[in-house]
Amino acid sequence: MQKKTKEMKETPFSIELKVRDYECDMQGIVNNTNYQHYLEHVRHEFLHTVGLDFSKLTEEGTILVVKRIEIDYQFPLRSGDRYLVDCSPVRISPLRFGFNQNIYRLPDHKQIISAYIVATSINKKGRPFLPPQIEEIFREH
Amino acid sequence: MQKKTKEMKETPFSIELKVRDYECDMQGIVNNTNYQHYLEHVRHEFLHTVGLDFSKLTEEGTILVVKRIEIDYQFPLRSGDRYLVDCSPVRISPLRFGFNQNIYRLPDHKQIISAYIVATSINKKGRPFLPPQIEEIFREH
Amino acid sequence: MQKKTKEMKETPFSIELKVRDYECDMQGIVNNTNYQHYLEHVRHEFLHTVGLDFSKLTEEGTILVVKRIEIDYQFPLRSGDRYLVDCSPVRISPLRFGFNQNIYRLPDHKQIISAYIVATSINKKGRPFLPPQIEEIFREH
Amino acid sequence: MQKKTKEMKETPFSIELKVRDYECDMQGIVNNTNYQHYLEHVRHEFLHTVGLDFSKLTEEGTILVVKRIEIDYQFPLRSGDRYLVDCSPVRISPLRFGFNQNIYRLPDHKQIISAYIVATSINKKGRPFLPPQIEEIFREH
* pLDDT, position A6: 45
Catalytic: which of B21, B25, B72, B81? B25
Decide: residue A56, CB within 10 A, 0-12 exposed, 13-18 middle, 19+ buried: exposed
Interchain CB contacts (distance < 8 Å): A and B: 46
Distance CA C141, CA A56 (A): 40
CA–CA distance from A139 to each of A2, A89, A119 (Å)?
A: 16, 10, 15
Tell me which chains share at least 3 CB pairs under 8 Å with chain A: B, C, D
Query: Of A20, A23, A25, which to mutate for an interface test with C (greatest number of C Cβ within 10 Å)?
Result: A25
Q: Listing from the earlier edge strand, what are the strands of the sheet with A63-73?
A: A13-18, A82-93, A96-106, A111-122, A63-73, D63-73, D111-122, D96-106, D82-93, D13-18
Helix H or strand E encompassing A124 = none
Count of C–D CB contacts within 8 Å? 46
Q: Do D55 and C78 count as a contact with CB atoms less than 8 A apart?
A: yes
Q: Which chains touch B (3 or more CB pairs under 8 A)?
A: A, C, D
Q: pLDDT tens, position by position, for chain A (141 residues)?
A: 334 444 445 689 999 999 999 999 999 999 999 999 999 999 999 999 988 999 999 988 899 999 999 999 999 999 999 999 999 999 888 889 999 999 999 999 999 999 999 999 998 888 888 888 888 887 765
Residue D134: the pLDDT is: 83
Q: Quick one: which of D57, D82, D122, D98 has its CA closest to C80? A: D57
With contact defined as beta carbons under 8 Å apart, do A88 and A13 qualify? yes
In one-letter notation, the amino acid at residue D20 is R
**Do B37 and A20 lie within an 8 Å CB cutoff?**
yes
Query: Do B90 and B40 form a contact (C-beta atoms < 8 A)?
Result: no
Residue A140: partners with Cβ closer than 8 Å, 6 or more residues away: A5
Give the Cβ contact number of residue D126 at 10 Å: 9
Q: Is D15 on the interface with A (CB under 8 A)?
A: no
Cα(D104)–Cα(D106) distance, rounded to whole angstroms? 6
Cβ distance A69 to D67 less than 8 Å, yes or no, reads no
Q: What is the chain C residue with the closest CA to A33?
A: C22
| pLDDT mean across residues, chain C | 89
What are the structural domains of chain A? Answer: 2-139 (3.10.129.10)
- Give CA separation, C98 vs A84, B117, C67, C93, in Å: 43, 21, 10, 9
DSSP assignment of B114-131 = EEEEEEEEE-TTS-B---
D1 inside 8 A of chain A by CB: no
Q: Which of B47, B53, B79, B82 to mutate to test the interface with A (most CBs of A within 10 A)?
A: B79
Residues in chain A closer than 8 A to D40 (CB atoms)? 32-33
User: What is the number of other CB atoms lying within 10 angstroms of the CB of residue C87?
Assistant: 23
Mark which residues 19-48 of C lie under 8 Å from B by CB: 26-27, 32-34, 36-37, 40
pLDDT digits (tens, 9 = 90+) for A83-110: 999 999 998 888 899 999 999 999 999 9
- DSSP alpha helix (H) spans, chain D: 2-10, 32-49, 54-60, 132-139
Q: pLDDT tens across C47-58, in order?
A: 999 889 999 999
Is residue B64 pLDDT above 70, yes or no?
Answer: yes
Could you confirm whether B25 is annotated as catalytic? yes
Q: How far apart are CA C18 and CA D42, in angstroms?
A: 12
Q: Are C113 and C74 within 8 A, CB to CB?
A: yes
**In terms of Cα–Cα distance, which of D25, D128, D38 is closest to D84?**
D38
Check: CB of residue B71 under 8 Å from CB of residue C118: no
Distance from CA of A25 to the nearest CA of C (A): 4
Instruction: Inspect the interface and report whether the beta carbons of A68 and D67 lie closer than 8 Å.
Output: no
- Does the beta carbon of C141 lie under 8 angstroms from any beta carbon of chain D? no
ipTM associated with this complex: 0.90
Number of H helices, E strands in chain C: 4, 5
Query: Residue D24, exposed/middle/buried by CB under 10 A (0-12, 13-18, 19+)?
Result: buried
Q: Which of B21, B37, B80 sits opposite A22 (nearest CB)?
A: B37
- D81 in contact with chain C, both atoms CB, cutoff 8 A: no
- Identify the residue among C26, C58, C79, C124 best suited for mutation to test binding to A, counting A beta carbons within 10 A and taking the highest: C26
Is B79 touching A (CB cutoff 8 A)?
Answer: yes
Q: What pLDDT was estimated at residue A129?
A: 87
The C-alpha angle D65, A86, B13, rounded to 5 degrees, equals 85
Q: Which residues contact A13 (CB under 8 A, 6 or more apart)?
A: A42, A45, A46, A49, A86, A87, A88
SS3 for D72?
strand
Q: How far apart are CA B72 and CA A36, in angstroms?
A: 30
